[in-house]
Structure 1
Amino acid sequence: MEHDSTREGYDTVAETYAARFRDELAGKPLDRALLASLIEQTAPGTPVADLGCGPGHVAAWMGERGAKTVGIDLSAAMVSAGRREYPDVEFREGDLLALPAADGEFGSAIAFYSIIHLAPSELPRAFAEVHRTLRPSGLFLVAFHVGTHVRHLDEWWGHEVSIDFQFFEPAHVADLLEAAGFKVEMRMERVHHSDEVETRRAYLLAHRIL
């Protein structure tokens, strides 16, 4: 997969995306519960990383509930929108394969539908980066679409793009997390909500053990 193409696609749709997803969590009680649990289990004062944060609405939601949040995204336009909309969140531009963060900087991290823009062969490197930037016992919550296929978009909300969406099997992702030095604590799947793309969604919660 070409990350430049993904970056350019999200730069193109950033303003539309930010407007459409600003209140996304209002209709997702399960996501809110998982995020609240993560905040509760994160050591006080340690930052929570939102990896592939988009315009930052999830990072902002966590920040409103006491978390110190750092949003990291590939798209400069997404980061710009986030800084404008959510000045209390720290934003950084960066790739999941080379996170702009120090070793052990984060108390916990989330990646909601961001690993779906990685090729399967890139997951071990991405998870190694998450492991590197987490403190010992730090939590990592990842969400993705279930399957083994790729969906490609040439058009998104009237904009011309070229973006691939890779689906993954939860057992495979869990195996890769454990190979990277995590212990998977929870696996969950759900069907899509009525206003979502029709896919099954998986959530894995793991903690750093090495």
Structure 2
Amino acid sequence: MFTPQGPSLRELAVQALSSVEHGYDLLAPKFDHTPFRTPDTILDAVERALAGLGPFDAGLDLCCGTGAGMGVLRDLCRESVTGVDISAGMLAVGRERAGAGKEGADSADGEPIPGGPRVSWVRGDARALPFGPVFDLAVSFGAFGHFLPDELPRLFAEAHSVLRPGGRFAFPLPAPAPPGSPWYWAALGFDTAMRVRNALWRPPFVMYYRPFRLGVVRDELERAGFEVELFALPEFGQRPDGSPRCRMVVATRPNT
């Protein structure tokens, strides 16, 4: 699963026994060499699907980590791109790899990239975002497993609050693996292990793969005031019943 540049088993164990924030601070230097980083195939598919919904001026990468989704926004947004994450370590790595240096990882002061939008890296909690309604597009990749189901209303309300009227909140959502698939049992086993870990150890490390399902997500987005559309990502094919293997969820803040 990991390249030679990735974390060792011991490093993963130390991370898993930490809080979410501190765990990702520890993992940050090697995060991009793990399977936890969103694959480029998904990033590229979402970018292609969003390109027809623009133009966008200001973009936000919610729970940006080391910045995999920031590249999507830099290609789509004309004026500014902002990444927000709770982990200072992930932000520092993202800034360094983007060529902005390590200083100011907690700063909201953007730095221009020649020929591209202004880029900012901001430390903040997705459940209490430090922004007003200034974004046309918000995206998130691979972060929703860190939020418990009862946190979704607050999370989606925050996403709604930072979008301008007509702004869009978009993210990929793969279909759940069928019960006969090894991925189904792998996810079930992982979630079970995390529940046992959190029952026995503090601080908790929230990371569950299975609760974030389309029906629940759609209902909570609509309760937050969004209008929800689904876009099939054809690059990933169809399930035996003809439904997409992966969708892009687009939640729009109404103009009124």
Distance 1:62 1:178, change over 3 A: same
Given the two structures, how large is their TM-score scaled by the length of structure 2?
0.63
1:138 paired residue number: 167
Supply the AA of the counterpart residue of 2:252: H
Distance 1:100 1:206, change over 3 A: same
Given the two structures, how large is their TM-score scaled by the length of structure 1?
0.76
Give the Cα separation in 2 of the matches to 1:24 and 1:126: 20
Larger displacement relative to structure 2 (78-87 or 34-43) = 34-43
Distance 1:64 1:165, change over 3 A: same
Distance 1:5 1:144, change over 3 A: farther
Equivalent residue of 1:136, what SS?
A: strand
1:186 paired residue number: 230
What is the CA distance between 1:65 and its match in structure 2? 5.2
Which is higher, the Rg of structure 1 or of structure 2?
Answer: 2
What is the CA distance between 1:146 and its match in structure 2? 5.6
- Pick one of 215, 218, 222 that aligns with 1:174: 218
CA RMSD, 1 decimal: 3.3
What is the CA distance between 1:203 and its match in structure 2? 3.4
Give the Cα separation in 2 of the matches to 1:66 and 1:56: 15
- Pick one of 66, 75, 85 that aligns with 1:55: 66
What is the CA distance between 1:63 and its match in structure 2? 1.1
Matches within 5 A, 1:16-165: 16-20=30-34, 25-26=39-40, 28=41, 30-44=42-56, 46-64=57-75, 66-67=77-78, 68-86=80-98, 87=100, 88=113, 89-102=119-132, 104-144=133-173, 151=191, 162-165=205-208
Q: Any conservation in 2 of the 1:116–1:144 contact (CA below 8 Å)?
A: no
Count how many residue pairs are aligned between Structure 1 and Structure 2: 191
Q: Any conservation in 2 of the 1:36–1:62 contact (CA below 8 Å)?
A: no
Percent of counterpart pairs with the same letter? Answer: 30
Equivalent residue of 2:217, what SS?
A: helix
Q: Any conservation in 2 of the 1:42–1:138 contact (CA below 8 Å)?
A: no
Supply the AA of the counterpart residue of 2:129: L
- Higher strand fraction: Structure 1 or Structure 2? 1
Distance 1:82 1:31, change over 3 A: closer
Give the Cα separation in 2 of the matches to 1:16 and 1:71: 19
Distance 1:145 1:74, change over 3 A: farther
Correspondence 1:9 to 2:23: yes
5+ long unaligned stretches in structure 1: 155-160, 193-199
Give the Cα separation in 2 of the matches to 1:75 and 1:14: 9
Equivalent residue of 2:19, what SS?
A: helix
Correspondence 1:208 to 2:253: yes
Q: Any conservation in 1 of the 2:21–2:87 contact (CA below 8 Å)?
A: yes
What is the CA distance between 1:113 and its match in structure 2? 1.6
Give the Cα separation in 2 of the matches to 1:176 and 1:117: 16
Larger displacement relative to structure 2 (85-94 or 118-127) = 85-94
Give the Cα separation in 2 of the matches to 1:190 and 1:124: 29
Give the Cα separation in 2 of the matches to 1:126 and 1:188: 24
2:240 paired residue number: none
